Amino acid sequence: MSKTNSNMDAITKPLATLGRSVLFFGQILAAFRPDAKMFRAILAQVYFIGARSLVIIMVCGFFVGMVLTLQSYVELSKFGATDSVGVVLALSLFRELGPVLTALLFSGRAGTSIAAEIGLMKATEQLSAMELMAIDPVKRVVVPRFIAGVISLPLLSMLFTLLALAGGATYAINIMGVDSGIFWGNMVSNVGFQSDFMMSFWKSLAFGIIASFIAVFSGYFTTPTGDGIGRATTQTVVVSAVVVLIVDFLITVLMTWT
């Protein structure tokens, strides 16, 4: 009997979570009001999330750019194609590494703190107190953080890509001695606005929605205990990473279809 139950649980629990997340997403959209109060709250959250993630994004971006250049330079030099190192760098950054790595760093840095913050507000009855004051906690707590995440991730992704390009250029031009005119020139003529830059943007926007939603969802539906909040933060990182990588593949398939 209990065996059947646990088997059923294995099917019904993920389904219930899925259903709940669809409803919660609807609730978030319904609670969104573009008024001054919400605008101020979103702005404050963009500042928090941006400030929280800025340093890590910049440092990681710079080093990813350098290591990427180093690796491709070694391989390209075998074919005498080191002039293209800038192209390889830019394409991999715009199409994949910029949005994906930023999303992973974002969920590790900002996502976890959003989940923990909302979870703690739940555990200390602050969300309940809001409801009792006739204040919708979804509207006042969840929506600003969610929207701020959706706005921040594309911006952070651009910053990451920019710093990675700078890091790569520093390494290629100053250390490996690639001609700077060739490095930038090849890059500019081989990177497309629609195919590469916009792909970067659409991906980071999608990842922003995914990572922010998973963070607020994990926090809002956490078991209100220390243990529960711990699980919510872990879940934020793990689930975000898996979903981001799967969706990354799907978007790439869609955008390269034609």
Partner 1 sequence: MPDDLIKLANLSFAWGEKVILKDINLSIPRGSVVAIMGPSGVGKTTVLRLITGQLSPTKGTVEVDGMCVSSMSHKNLYKMRRNIGVLLQNGALFTDLDVFENVAVPVREHSNLPEALIRRLVLIKLEAVGLRGAVDLMPSELSGGMARRVALARASVLDPSLMLYDEPLAGLDPIGASTILRLIRDTNDAMGMTSVVITHSVEDMMELADYAYIIASQSIVGQGTPEQLRENTDPRVVQFLNGEIDGPVPFHYPASDLHQDLLG
**Chain positions contacting partner 1, by CB under 8 A:** 120-121, 124-126, 128-129, 131-136, 140
CB of 128 to partner 1, least distance (A): 7
CB of 35 to partner 1, least distance (A): 12
CB of 222 to partner 1, least distance (A): 17
Nearer to partner 1, 124 or 234 (CB): 124
Nearer to partner 1, 11 or 133 (CB): 133
CB of 50 to partner 1, least distance (A): 17
CB of 70 to partner 1, least distance (A): 43
- SS3 for the chain is CHHHHHHHHHHHHHHHHHHHHHHHHHHHHHHCCCCHHHHHHHHHHHHHHHHHHHHHHHHHHHHHHHHHHHHHHHHHHHCCCHHHHHHHHHHHHHHHHHHHHHHHHHHHHHHHHHHHHHHHHHHCCHHHHHHHCCCCHHHHHHHHHHHHHHHHHHHHHHHHHHHHHHHHHHHHHHHCCCCHHHHHHHHHHHCCHHHHHHHHHHHHHHHHHHHHHHHHHHHHCCCCCHHHHHHHHHHHHHHHHHHHHHHHHHHHHHHHCC
Nearer to partner 1, 54 or 120 (CB): 120
Nearer to partner 1, 201 or 221 (CB): 221
